[in-house]
A = this chain, B = another copy of it.
Amino acid sequence: MNARAASNDGTELTQFSCGVCPAYQVNMCQAAAAAAWSAGRPAPLQLQQSTYSVPPRKIICREQDLYDAVPVICSGWAASIVMLPDGRRQILSFLLPGDLVSSALLFEPVKSCMVEAITVVSYRTYRRAELKALLFAKPDLMDRLASTWVAEKARCDQLIVDLGRRTAEERIARLVFNLMDRLTQRGMMKPGDTTVEFPLRQHHIADAVGLTSVHVSKVITDFRRRGLMAIDDRELRLLNVDDLRRVAFSRH
């Protein structure tokens, strides 16, 4: 499904059809594409046709890259990360197919964060100005934007509560449920499923929930020992959903 044109730094130019994207009704991306088509103009978004593909661990963009470009993940998992000069890092959010890096990016460039690929990632970049114009031309697009924004803010607030007031166990369990929700939204997982592909390394989890990867290892080992969940071979297995949910939501 992808036609590739390799370059020297691991980044490839690829063709990627939106019909394949699992985030069909979830986010801005599809709506933008649809609106662009229906607008009938020959090529309102010229960047739309070419997407890039990068290998795991590669940086997709740094903050300065976001001056004009608005990247959207087409396939794979990525993370938007804030790095402190002394090496500490915090993951603001994991990016799944269909996700904008941040909906704030539609309006303003700067953000002191970068985006890093976790799996092989293909992504597409729009030009802010074009996307913005399209946005104002199509009011239903604005609705779509509003709802992804509200969802983004809600997750943001949740994370603040988690980091500020919850224990390591709670944070990790909640992260897992959060990700599963988002995966099922996208059809990358069925509601009853007990296993999913799960490409996160423990250090990703650590950076997302504000812990050390050492401590994440201990908690996850403990989860496995207690028969709650296990992560092996890039696969998450739920062993006892109810008890795990109790860990995640007991104190609400």
Contacts and interface: CB of A to CB of B under 8 A. Distances in A.
A89 B152 CA distance: 21
A252 interface: yes
A232 interface: no
Nearest to A113: B157
Contacts of A121: none
Nearest to A139: B136
Nearest to A88: B165
A203 to B, nearest CB: 13
A108 B154 CA distance: 11
A149 B92 CA distance: 17
A210 B160 CA distance: 9
A104 interface: yes
A160 B156 CA distance: 8
Contacts of A90: 160-161, 164-165
Interface residues of A, number: 37
Question: SS class of chain A's interface: helix, strand, loop or mixed?
Answer: helix
Contacts of A84: 161, 165, 251-252
Nearest to A83: B252
Number of this chain's copies in the assembly equals 2
Nearest to A89: B165
A107 interface: yes
A111 interface: yes
A82 B84 CA distance: 27
B88 A147 contact: no
Contacts of A154: 104, 111
A102 interface: yes
Contact of A159 (B89, B102, B160, B165): B160
Contacts of A163: 160, 163-164, 210
B157 A157 contact: no
20 contacts: A82-B157, A82-B161, A85-B251, A86-B252, A88-B251, A89-B165, A90-B160, A90-B165, A92-B157, A102-B153, A104-B153, A107-B146, A107-B150, A108-B146, A108-B147, A108-B150, A111-B154, A136-B139, A156-B156, A164-B209
